Amino acid sequence: MKEITPTSRRILIIASAIMIAIILLSSSELLQAQPVSNQSTAQQTSLSDTAFARIKHIKAGVLNIGYAEVGPANGNPVILLHGWPYDINSYAQVAPILAAQGYHIIVPYLRGYGSTTFLSAKSVRNGQQAALAEDVIALMDALHIQKATLGGFDWGARTADIVAALYPQRVNALVSVSGYLIGSQQGNKAPLPPKAEQAWWYQYYFATERGKAGYAANTKAFNKLIWQTASPDWKFTDADYNRSAAAFNNPDHVAIVIHNYRWRLGLAKGEAKYDALEKQLALAPAITVPTVTLEGDANGAPHPAPADYAKRFTGKYIHHTLTGGIGHNLPQEAPEAFANAIIEADSLAK
């Protein structure tokens, strides 16, 4: 065997070091070459949702409202509103992002959801649009919040739109998924093209007593179907759905949902105390506060085209359409994008 001299040993050590460096460099380049995960994709976000740790309650208007609160109490207030058939967990990932930026986040259960209940058994189980908007004002008053940034989707977007339109002095800025959703019973009398009417199948189902009984008997299965059709590319898990489905156990849930859709079609009366507000809303009032609207590229629920509602926002205004298979439950499917929209809307107000 040939003897290894000191010089040869040094050469071997240098050569080994070079080889290790090459391997490390190649590994680094390989890692960098891997595609970066897109946090706005529906498939990614459903895997890490977490429930809010604590639910608080406060008497506000006709309700005892259950709500989650995240972030510093002295931060700029942000109120996030969910829709049907969803709940506050649509914002379980959005809230921490905003709290880390110093915002004070309030996420209430709408009437008929979660732990929000009526203070009186005699109160009308009313789901009309003006009633939900007045709930938000009552909540703000109860929490001593003079002005807040509002964000919402589905019922939550409509509610936020109404508050911004009727009470602009109470709204710092607005983020609305699917844009301008304020309607009226008179406006809803106009027939839509057949494909659009088909998308509203559940509204007509709820107009019947069979539909009311069917929804009461199959609430959980019914709403899971809506999740699937409204967000066809979102791969949510059973745990994701069950976490939110618990909110449908509210004793007033079925009554509120049925009344909401029947009221839209003029098949159920609202309360007289909201008549003046509904007259204002029937005129399709402009929204003057700084606004960011969002839409997902895979929204399977009925929704207007962004070009159709842009003119309704007469203040500072930005629209974003998100790609990557984002459906109707946009805050839960694309939490970073929604949180960024809140921050963007807030910056427009400065």
| pLDDT of amino acid 50 | 56
Q: Tokens at residue 30, please? A: 């390989």
Q: What is the mean pLDDT of each run of 10 residues along the chain (350 residues)?
A: 42 41 34 32 40 93 98 98 98 97 98 98 98 98 98 98 98 98 95 95 98 98 98 97 98 98 97 98 98 98 96 98 98 98 97
SS3 annotation, 63-128:
EEEEEEEECCCCCCEEEEECCCCCCHHHHCCHHHHHHHCCCEEEEECCCCCCCCEECCCCCCCCCC
Phi, psi of 230 (to 5 degrees): -75, -25
| pLDDT of amino acid 13 | 41
| pLDDT of amino acid 31 | 29
pTM score, two decimals? 0.86
Nearest to 112 by CA among 150, 83, 137: 83
pLDDT tens sequence across 243-286:
999 999 999 999 999 999 999 999 999 999 999 999 999 999 99
Q: Tokens at residue 253, please? A: 């849930």
SS3 annotation, 38-61:
CCCCHHHHCCCCCCCCCCEEEEEC
**Rounded Cα–Cα distance for residues 26 and 36 (Å):** 18
| pLDDT of amino acid 153 | 98
Phi, psi of 192 (to 5 degrees): -105, 165
- Give the mean pLDDT of the chain: 89
The b/e string for 280-292 (b: 16+ C-beta within 10 A; e otherwise) is ebeeebebebbbb
Which secondary structure element, helix H or strand E, spans residue 245, and what is its range? helix 238-245
> Beta strand 171-177 with 148-152: parallel, antiparallel or unpaired?
parallel
Q: Tokens at residue 26, please? A: 């190649």
Q: Tokens at residue 62, please? A: 């006709």
> Beta strand 171-177 with 291-296: parallel, antiparallel or unpaired?
parallel
